[in-house]
Copies of this chain bind each other. A is one copy, B any other.
Amino acid sequence: MTPSTMRAVVYDQPREFTVKEVPLRDPEPGEVRLKVVQGGVCGTDLHLHEGGFITSYPLTPGHENVGTVEALGDGVDSFRVGELVAVNPNTTCGKCPACRSGDRLYCPSFGGWGTLKPGGFADYLIVPEEQVFSAEGLDPDVAVFAEPAACAVHGIEILQPRPGTTALVFGTGPTGLLLAQLLASSGAAHVTVASIAEPQLRRAEELGLDSAYLMVRGRLDDDIAELAKRGDGGFDYVIDATGVAQVQERTVELARSGGTVLLYGVAHEDDRIAISPYEVFRRELTIRGSFAEIDTVPAALAALRSGRIRTDGLITHRFGLDDYGAAMDAVRSDDSAHKVVMTP
């Protein structure tokens, strides 16, 4: 029998959270209630901690969720109780000009469970049926990557890589490795990953990526020079998955003429990078951004299912709800952390 309360991480204001019992309601018509299996922690959660994004308190974070279906609201017929599912946390208003032109990602109300609405760092999570996707047969340690992988799929849809091309990905966090593997199975014949994180680079090699390059803090000029040499005229695609503006600024010179730079990592709002408009013109470069996802969870699950994206070994740290602070510390500053997950 489902209890009438559950434990949840709850913020009442920026930087102030507690883990406490909160009421557990029944799913309304069209909703699904999940027993949370686990949920990934990512940079967005650190940002929420600092008071970013949020419009209203109390808030429960957790937007990378996998769970089992526990109760169905009226009219929900596409799932059965007990089924393993992943959640798409993003939704939009449906009424603004962006939504009505098919550009849902640019909806001013873009957001959802774990950012604007109660998320999955809790025992249970209630979401509308249309946000739920079957993950039956997948290991929960794979399915927990559905949301970040969906973002990466969206990035690849923006890039539309051509077959036989080369790619360079900066950053080997979970996101960098998802992107790199998707590139390798979406056209790029050779993918190089580069970062300052040695254990992550070893994992990149284990996952079968073509080449891994260890950067050294404070030696960016040398690293760029060496990567330029390896690029031999430039990479067709250069992707930033570090979010570090100094790195982003150096992506342009590493792109082949006619190539594309994808700014995927999240820089600070007041960072600026210096670009040569003459170079963009003369070498016909493209610089693009990729933001979140709205409809690529199915594609992400397909890629996880078939092994186009592998995640073995990526989860390095697991925490219970009571240790949410420690989980954030690991994401923030533990060099040995790769993917960190919360298990209620």
Contact = CB atoms under 8 A, between A and B. Distances in A.
A245 B276 CA distance: 9
Contacts of A248: 277
A281 B279 CA distance: 21
A189 B302 contact: yes
A157 B163 contact: yes
Given A101-B296, A164-B296, A273-B276, 16 more contacts: A98-B257, A100-B295, A157-B162, A157-B163, A163-B186, A163-B299, A164-B301, A166-B302, A184-B308, A189-B303, A190-B306, A210-B306, A266-B278, A267-B276, A269-B278, A271-B276
A276 B272 contact: yes
Please state the number of chain copies in the assembly. Answer: 4
Nearest to A286: B288
Interface stretch (A2-10, A33-41, A102-110, A194-202): A102-110
Contacts of A265: 281
Query: Across chains A and B, which 4 residue pairs bring their CB atoms closest together, nearest first?
Result: A164-B299, A102-B295, A106-B257, A189-B302
B271 A280 contact: no
A212 interface: no
Contacts of A238: none
A217 interface: no
A22 interface: no
Contacts of A101: 295-296, 298-299
Interface of A: 78, 88, 94-95, 97-103, 105-106, 129-130, 133, 153, 156-158, 160-166, 182, 184-187, 189-190, 210, 233, 240, 245, 248, 256-258, 263-291, 294-303, 305-306, 308
Given A129-B95, A160-B160, A273 B274 contact: yes
A56 to B, nearest CB: 18
Nearest to A299: B164
A195 B310 CA distance: 29
Contact of A106 (B98, B275, B284): B284
A277 B245 contact: yes
Contact of A281 (B185, B189, B267, B272): B267
A106 B189 contact: no
Nearest to A304: B189
A187 B95 CA distance: 25
Contacts of A161: 186
